[in-house]
Amino acid sequence: MFFFLFVFVFFACSLHSRVDPFLESCGTFNTHLRLAIKRIDAQNATTSTKIHKLL
C-alpha cells in the first residue's frame, strides 16, 4: 500500500514538473522511478498491472 502511495506522489510530482519547468529535479526522480517500475514489471505481472492502473 505504501509503495502505491509513493508512486502516486512522484506521478503527481511529474505533472507539476511539466507545468513548472523549475521543478526539473522532481522530473529526474520520476524518470528513475519509471525505470524501477519497469524492473518490477519484469518480476511481477500482478504488481505491474496495479501500478499501470494507478498511473
Whether the pLDDT of residue 52 is over 70: the answer is no
Cell numbers placing 20: 513548472
For residue 17, the enclosing domain spans: 2-54
Per the structure, how many domains does the chain have?
Answer: 1
pLDDT band, residue 3 (cuts 50/70/90): confident
DSSP secondary structure code for residue 23 in this structure = -
Check residue 34 and give its pLDDT: 79
The pTM (predicted TM-score) of the whole model is: 0.32
pLDDT in tens, 6-51: 777 777 666 655 555 555 666 677 777 777 777 766 766 666 566 6
DSSP secondary structure code for residue 21 in this structure = T
Q: Which amino acid is at 6?
A: F
Check residue 30 and give its pLDDT: 73
